[in-house]
Amino acid sequence: MIDIGKLRGNIFGGITAGVIALPLCLAFGVSSGLGAVSGLYGAIFLSLFASIFGGTPTQISGPTGPMTVIIASLFVAHPGNYKLIFATIFLAGLFQIIFGLAKLGKAVKYVPYPVISGFMSGIGVIILLLQLNPITGITFSGIPIDGVIYFFQNLSKIDYTSLLLGIFTLGIIFLTPSKVSKYFPSPLLALIVVTMISIANGFDVPTIGTIPQEFPKIQLGLISFRELQIAVPMALTLGILGSIDSLLTSLVADSITKTKHNSNKELIGQGIGNIMASLFGGIAGAGATMRTVVNVKAGGTSRLSGVVQSLFLICVVLFFAPYVSKIPLAVLAGILVKVGIDIIDYKFLNVIKVAPKRDILVMLIVFIITVLDDLIFAVGVGIVLSSILLAYKLSQQMEMELKTIDDIKTDDFIEEDIKKDLIIAHIQGVLFFGTASMLVSKLEKLTHHKYVIIDCSTIKHMDISAVFALEEMIAQLKEKGVHIILVISTRKLKQRVYEAGLNKLMSKDYIVPSLDKAINLIKN
């Protein structure tokens, strides 16, 4: 039996999310360079297929700021090459499906937060810079920094009518009481009111332009091998960013609905959605946090709400395209100014005074590279730099403390000549590639003794670099006639270390699980 209450909630949730999505997907479409209709098609197809095949029932998907910025950068680099752009979006969806099948859905939690923070804040600033020209009626297509320079070089070309429309749009968005925007989203209210004012007064300002009132035709075509070399890294970036964006939104949906999403299934759904969007000329997108939250708050509980949003936007294309085409670009720019402000990561900025310096460094470097250079390079640099700084931090925690038998609590009687010739090297911390060289550097302190116990009882894991360093250390000690016993407490680690090279240097009997057994072995 159909639950009428849930059905009503899903329909209302989908329509409400669609109302919020409409001005945003139009604005993202224009900002991408592909046009408002591409934003609409991206929202329609991604929302439909991600809802049907995804792993988060209440998630609403569509064009988002970060994804749009990458598409815009590709459009600027290759203007008019629509086959390349849609092929890139197609490949991004394919990568997302591969991520899901490879069960990489939970890998998002391993991306350091300062990297995400710097990237998102950089995206927010890019969106703000990109609106400087359209909100003042100046036509420009290029990278953000060039846009700022172009703006100041062409101050005489400012269209003050467009500027007033943009300011009025921002005024409505920021000043609409929350009681009103709860039922009628302020971006949509600004879109309708300011567009009606522009039409009623016959303002001659740049507008969206013609939107075809028909079902979109398939856009995807074959690209050359050279174009494929351009498309693949951009597609990988889109796929990774869309996956992170979507899975973070899934976590938000979980916290509100008290449910648990299927991350790998969600990636597959997002991938299918982006592939379908690319086939019909839509821009790439991801799970949209604001639209998802609105959907849940309005009563959405299942996949039906995402399907309803898609149907709502189809109706807009089929029945309201002539009105949509008259929307001033300055209005969409005003809406995107609010989006850019919202994307900036204030959570990290609020704690920047107490955050570790290495996290602040990573965030700032990623932010600067994102805004001034390249988004792909920024994320790569951020992850590598975070890894290096983490390795350095862990390496500072590695210590090798030298102890005599008198420093050890033992009831065993040990002869004085053995006591005099025995040293215990107690290793603490983390043994990995970052500390391997430090281990060998401490070798000199051990060569003056006849018996050496290398105590790794507190070490639970060693990477291959640490194993090889330990092997080198033992080999050099044996060359000097030192008798060595190795203490490793876990059987699995003992087996790995032995098979990786120590089997050529020492008997397995000399690798023991405790310090007491090591001392007894020396006594006997």
Task: Say if residue 247's pLDDT is above 60.
Answer: yes
Task: Identify the weakest region by mean pLDDT among 8-12, 219-223, 382-386, 514-518.
Answer: 219-223
pLDDT tens for each residue of 147-203: 889 899 988 889 999 999 999 999 998 998 988 877 777 888 888 899 999 999 988
CA distances to 136, 137, 174, 339, 381 from 164, rounded to whole Å, are: 8, 10, 15, 19, 41
Whole-angstrom Cα Rg for the chain: 30
Q: Which of 181, 173, 172, 176 is nearest to 294 (CA)?
A: 181
**Rounded Cα distance, 344 and 335, in Å:** 15
- The DSSP symbol for 355 reads S
| 3-state SS, one letter per residue, for 226-243 | HHHHHHHHHHHHHHHHHH
* DSSP assignments along 250-316, one per residue: HHHHHHHHT----HHHHHHHHHHHHHHHHHTTPPP-EE-HHHHHHHHHTT--STHHHHHHHHHHHHH
Q: What is the reported pLDDT for 231?
A: 92
Q: What is the pLDDT of residues 388-442, one digit of tens each?
A: 887 788 777 778 888 877 767 665 666 676 777 888 888 887 777 777 777 777 7
Tokens 């879109």 correspond to 191
User: How far is the C-alpha of 148 from the C-alpha of 138, rounded, in Å?
Assistant: 11
State whether residue 34 is helix, strand or coil.
Answer: coil
Q: Which pLDDT band, with edges at 50, 70 and 90, does 3 fall under?
A: low
Q: What is the pLDDT at residue 409? A: 65
CA distances from 452 to 447, 455, 482 (A): 9, 9, 7
- What pairs with residue 511 in β-bridges? 486
| Residue 46 confidence class, pLDDT cut points 50, 70, 90 | very high
* Rounded distance between C-alpha atoms, residue 206 and residue 134, angstroms: 9
Give 214-219 contacts, CB < 8 A, sequence gap 24+. Answer: 216/37, 216/41, 216/280, 216/281, 216/282, 217/280, 217/281, 218/279, 218/280, 219/82, 219/83, 219/86, 219/278, 219/279, 219/280, 219/281
- Report the DSSP beta bridge partners of residue 207: 328
Which pLDDT value is given to residue 425?
Answer: 85
The reported pLDDT for the residue numbered 411 is: 57
Tokens read off for 101: 């099948």
Cα 286 from Cα 85, distance rounded (Å): 17
Rounded to 5 degrees, φ, ψ at 512 are -115, 160
pLDDT tens string 459-500: 888 888 888 888 888 888 888 888 888 888 888 888 888 888
Label the pairing between strands 422-428 and 61-62: unpaired
Q: What are phi and psi of 426, to 5 degrees?
A: -90, 115
399-523 is classed CATH 3.30.750.24? yes
Q: Looking at the predicted structure, is the pLDDT value of residue 212 above 90?
A: no
Identify whether the C-beta of residue 13 lies closer than 8 Å to the C-beta of residue 305: yes
Which residues in 431-488 belong to E strands, given as ranges?
451-455, 483-487
For the chain, domain boundaries: 9-208+222-339, 399-523
452 band by pLDDT with thresholds 50, 70 and 90: confident
pTM of this structure: 0.75
Q: Across residues 324-334, what is the average pLDDT?
A: 88
Q: What is the pLDDT of residues 69-128, one digit of tens each?
A: 889 889 988 988 999 999 999 999 999 999 999 998 877 667 788 888 888 888 888 888
pLDDT at res. 430: 78
pLDDT digits (tens, 9 = 90+) for 185-198: 788 888 889 999 99
- Decide if 327 contacts 26 (C-beta within 8 A): yes
